[in-house]
Structure formats: C-alpha cells, structure tokens
C-alpha cells in the first residue's frame, strides 16, 4: 500500500520569499510522484511529476521538486513566491502497475502575503 | 487536444432525481477515473476503467453507476443521492507505454449539490 504525508495544513509566505512544501511518501515499490495545484472551484492541474531518471524535476510556473529515495521525500520548492501561487497543493503517489491508483496527501494551503 | 472535458460544470438535483455526469478525452488515454472531492479534502478514488472495462470499484454505493461507452467517454449515472453526496466530482485519464508514463490529466470537475 502507498501513502503520502503532507505535514501541516497551511503555509504562509511573503511575496518574493521561498516556497517550500513538504511531502513524504511510503511505497513498497518504486513510486511515481506528482504535485498538483488546485485553485478555488477548479480541477487539479499537474505541476510536475517524477517517474524515472533525473531526480530534480522542473515543472510549470517556476516550481521544482527533488526526489530523495533515502529520505522518501519529494518536497516542492519555488525560489520566489507570487500572489498567483496562492492555492491548494496536493502531493500524490502511484505505483507502476497497469491499474495504478493515484493516492493523494491531505493537501496544504499556500497563502502569499503582499 | 490535451484536455479532459466534464459536463455539466454545476448540477443541482433532488434526492429522487436521476442525472448523469459526462467526461470526455481525446488524448488516446486508455485508463479513466472518477474521483469525489469534498471541501478542503483530497480527491477520493471511486472507479477506474482500463480499456473500457471496470477494473477498480472502491466500494462505492450503488446509487453511483459508472459507464464507459467507448475509449473517449466516461459517464457517472446518479440516482437517489443523499445530501452528503454533494461534492466536486472529478474525472481523470492517464496513459503509459512501455517507456513513458504520461501521468494523470484531470478535468475541471462537476460541482454537485443534492437538495
């Protein structure tokens, strides 16, 4: 079974500050890892994903994440927060099977202060 | 076309009504999913279709009935719902080959209110 842990429910940063959203996973097989963003009253948009290869993954809107197997982590970062980054962020994991299921963390709300 | 399209965007229905949610994708993805999302919660998997066959049913009540008429369409038929079924219903699709995993693409959802 797979699981994702996102500690905390809310992160607040100032505009221009570093964004760091933490994600730890548990998986018995090599995982696929994802970060999704959800703006109010919208669906989920894929920010980035790790499947194989390079462990530092770059995504849209200046976000990136690093897969660290030894720490079972996949933290999301952005060097400089923008007001438009305020949203709900979900980390998710799936296995590599044909009928894989995407398992989400509980999500974290990012607020950006002017 | 790189989108998953869901209709309607909003739906209000009574507890005795029958309605359907529709999901469509033209990316050639052969796996399609229904998720339910309550406010301030992560999406919860309901059903998985793989090559138009139901492969996973996460013990969803029978008042929710999925249907996959073809490789591009996924429906969710609703009947005799309860107010607690009010939520955002998300459709997603995914595809993988022997060498590439394309991940999941989500639609924008149908906001369902049961009165």
Q: Note whether A43 contacts B42, CB cutoff 8 Å.
A: no
Give the count of Cβ contacts less than 8 A between chain A and B.
Answer: 54
Q: What percent of chain B has pLDDT over 90?
A: 78
- Give the per-residue pLDDT at A99: 63
List strand residue ranges (DSSP E) for A1-114, in order: 3-5, 10-14, 19-21, 24-26, 32-38, 44-50, 56-58, 64-68, 73-78, 87-94, 103-104, 108-113
Residues of A in contact with B107 (CB under 8 A): 43
Nearest-Cα residue of chain A relative to residue B97:
A98
Record the tokens describing residue B51, joined without a space: 């090559």
Q: Which helix (H) or strand (E) holds B67?
A: strand B64-70
d(CA A79, CA A63): 8
Residues making up chain B, counted from first to last: 115
Q: How far is CA B6 from CA A12, B64, B89, B98, in A?
A: 32, 17, 9, 29
Min Cα distance B30 → chain A (Å) is 10
Nearest-Cα residue of chain A relative to residue B50:
A99
Q: What percent of chain A has pLDDT over 70?
A: 96
Where does the pLDDT of residue B98 fall: very low under 50, low under 70, confident under 90, or very high at 90 and above? Answer: low
pLDDT tens digits, A20-74: 999 999 987 778 999 999 998 889 999 999 988 889 999 999 999 999 999 999 9
Of A94, A99, A106, the CB nearest to B55: A99
d(CA A95, CA B63): 29
Instruction: Kindly report the number of other CB atoms within 10 A of residue A3's CB atom.
Output: 12
Min Cα distance B106 → chain A (Å) is 6
User: Given a cut of 70, is residue A78 above it in pLDDT?
Assistant: yes
Closest to A106 in 3D by CA, of B7, B38, B12, B41? B41
């Amino acid at each position: 079974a797979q699981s994702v842990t996102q500690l905390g429910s809310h992160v607040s940063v100032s505009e221009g500050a570093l964004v760091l959203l933490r994600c730890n996973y548990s998986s018995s097989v090599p995982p696929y890892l994802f970060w999704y963003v959800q703006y109010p009253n919208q669906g989920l948009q894929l920010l980035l994903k790790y499947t194989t290869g390079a462990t530092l993954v770059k995504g849209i809107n200046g976000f990136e994440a690093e897969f660290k197997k030894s720490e079972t982590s996949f933290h999301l970062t952005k060097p400089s927060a923008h007001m438009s980054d305020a949203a709900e962020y979900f980390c998710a994991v799936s296995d590599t099977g044909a009928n894989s299921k995407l398992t989400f963390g509980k999500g974290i709300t990012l607020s950006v202060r002017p | 076309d790189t989108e998953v399209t869901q209709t309607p965007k909003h739906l209000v229905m009574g507890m005795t009504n029958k309605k359907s949610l529709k999901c469509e994708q033209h990316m050639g993805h052969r796996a399609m999913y229904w998720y339910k999302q309550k406010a301030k919660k992560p999406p919860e998997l309901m059903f998985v279709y793989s090559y138009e066959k139901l492969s996973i049913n996460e013990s969803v009540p029978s008042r929710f009935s999925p249907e996959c008429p073809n490789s591009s369409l996924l429906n969710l038929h609703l009947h005799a719902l309860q107010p607690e079924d009010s939520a955002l219903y998300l459709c997603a699709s995914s595809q993988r080959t022997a060498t590439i995993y394309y991940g999941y693409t989500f639609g924008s959802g149908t906001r369902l209110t049961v009165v």
